[in-house]
A and B are shown apart, each in its own frame.
Chain A
Amino acid sequence: MNEKEWPLYEVFIRSRSGLSHRHAGSVHAADDQMALDHARDTYTRRMEGVSLWVVRSDLIVASDPADTSAFFAPAEDKIYRHPTFYKIPDGVENL
């Protein structure tokens, strides 16, 4: 096998026109074109998609699991951020 591994790419597939791309998994590839080929051969064998994106995994900036409490927990008790928190006043018809 290879002494040096090919870089990892993340694969995103749009399953139908109008929907957004969703993360499907990852592939190893030596360059961008090869990554696209490998994504096609690995993840769209059963008509899973109409469009593919690949991006070098090391180019993705991700949140740190250690930051979860600071990043996401504060949103837990902010119910006023949900539209359902607000009562629609009587007389407002077009909302």
Chain B
Amino acid sequence: MTVEDALQSYVLRLGDNALVIGQRMIERVAGEPELEEELANANFALDYIGQARMLYSYAGELEGKGRGEDDFAYLRDSQEFRNFLMVEQPNGHFGDAIVRQVLFESFYLLQLEQLADCADTRLAEIAARAVKEISYHLRHASQWLIRLGDGTDESHQRVKESLERYWRYAAEFFDGDDVDDWIQRECNGPDLGALAKTWRDNVEALLEQATLPIPDDNLDQTSFSRAGGRQGNHSEYFGFLIAEMQHLQRAFPGANW
């Protein structure tokens, strides 16, 4: 694996996570319970799309074959995407979206904070910018998790079920491969083992505040596939997501505003 290959794979994965969760948030537009939440959600979605654009542009430059952000977003098939399974899961209800955001962003923020100090200047700059955006997202979602968990009996029960639904997908964040190892070793990137511990501590502290029980880790022993996004093995929902996202470019190649 060359330097460019590893870095390009890594940057592309970051871009895929950002694009896919951004797309899921876009699906929620016009469906939020309050006007102000509507604005917040749309802002967050666009933050992610912005991050994906920067990451894809950089991935294209590293690859050096003339591919740009639109090529990565609109002209790849599902098995070429390398996002986590967590971010592609269907939206469900408001509590589901909040739980997914909290679990993913608790990881993503730690990852970005490490990358802001990484040896690759361009990636460090993108990460430093994204840290500011995601810090606020996570603050917003965490407050909601506390409100829902420590709210009414019904909100507590529903968000507890959401947590049990998404919990099994979190292990994939820390299941690194040779690309992650390379970034850590050669680029002063995140140490996934250390991140896993910090993530767990942070999430447990938040769940305690939200009066929510920490889900049983053995839950996922009984479930279907909960990892494989990094290898391009996506859940059944992913095909529908990219079909909708890519429809316009596929039907009218090169279409422009």
Q: Which of B15-23, B35-43, B72-80, B206-214 contacts A (4 or more CB under 8 A)?
A: B35-43
Residues of B close to A40: CB separation below 8 A: 136
- Check A42–B39 contact: CB distance below 8 A: yes
- Check A41–B34 contact: CB distance below 8 A: no
- Check B147–A45 contact: CB distance below 8 A: no
- Check B43–A37 contact: CB distance below 8 A: no
A2 at the interface (CB under 8 A from B): yes
B140 at the interface (CB under 8 A from A): yes
Q: Decide: A37 near B34, CB < 8 A? Known: A30-B147, A42-B39, A45-B43.
A: no
- Check A38–B147 contact: CB distance below 8 A: no
Residues of A close to B36: CB separation below 8 A: 27-29, 38, 41-42
- Check B35–A34 contact: CB distance below 8 A: no
Partner of A28, one of B35, B43, B143: B35
In chain B, positions 20-48 with a C-beta closer than 8 Å to chain A are 33-37, 39-40, 43
CA distance A45 to B40 in the complex (A): 10
Partner of B40, one of A1, A30, A31, A38: A38
Q: How far is the CB of B32 from chain A (nearest CB, A)?
A: 11
Residues of A close to B39: CB separation below 8 A: 38, 41-42, 45
- Check B33–A34 contact: CB distance below 8 A: no
A33 at the interface (CB under 8 A from B): yes
A6 at the interface (CB under 8 A from B): yes
- Check B147–A31 contact: CB distance below 8 A: yes
Residues of A close to B136: CB separation below 8 A: 40
Q: Mark A34-51, 1 if CB is under 8 A from B, else 0.
A: 100110111001000000
CA distance A80 to B127 in the complex (A): 61
CA distance A17 to B140 in the complex (A): 25
Q: How many residues on chain A are close to B (CB under 8 Å)? A: 16
Residues of A close to B147: CB separation below 8 A: 30-31, 34
In chain A, positions 63-92 with a C-beta closer than 8 Å to chain B are none
Q: Mark A7-33, 1 if CB is under 8 A from B, else 0.
A: 000000000000000000001111101
- Check A6–B34 contact: CB distance below 8 A: yes
* Residue among A2, A41, A45 having the largest count of chain B Cβ atoms under 10 Å: A41
**Chain B residue at minimum C-beta to C-beta distance from A38:** B36
**Chain A residue at minimum C-beta to C-beta distance from B40:** A41
- Check A33–B40 contact: CB distance below 8 A: no
Residues of B close to A6: CB separation below 8 A: 34
Partner of B34, one of A28, A31, A33, A45: A28
Residues of B close to A38: CB separation below 8 A: 36-37, 39-40
- Check A37–B33 contact: CB distance below 8 A: no
Residues of A close to B35: CB separation below 8 A: 28
Q: B residues touching A (Cβ–Cβ < 8 Å)?
A: 33-37, 39-40, 43, 136, 139-140, 143, 147
Q: A residues touching B (Cβ–Cβ < 8 Å)?
A: 1-2, 6, 27-31, 33-34, 37-38, 40-42, 45
Q: List 11 A-B contacts (CB under 8 A).
A: A2-B33, A6-B34, A28-B35, A28-B36, A29-B36, A37-B40, A37-B143, A38-B36, A38-B40, A42-B36, A45-B39
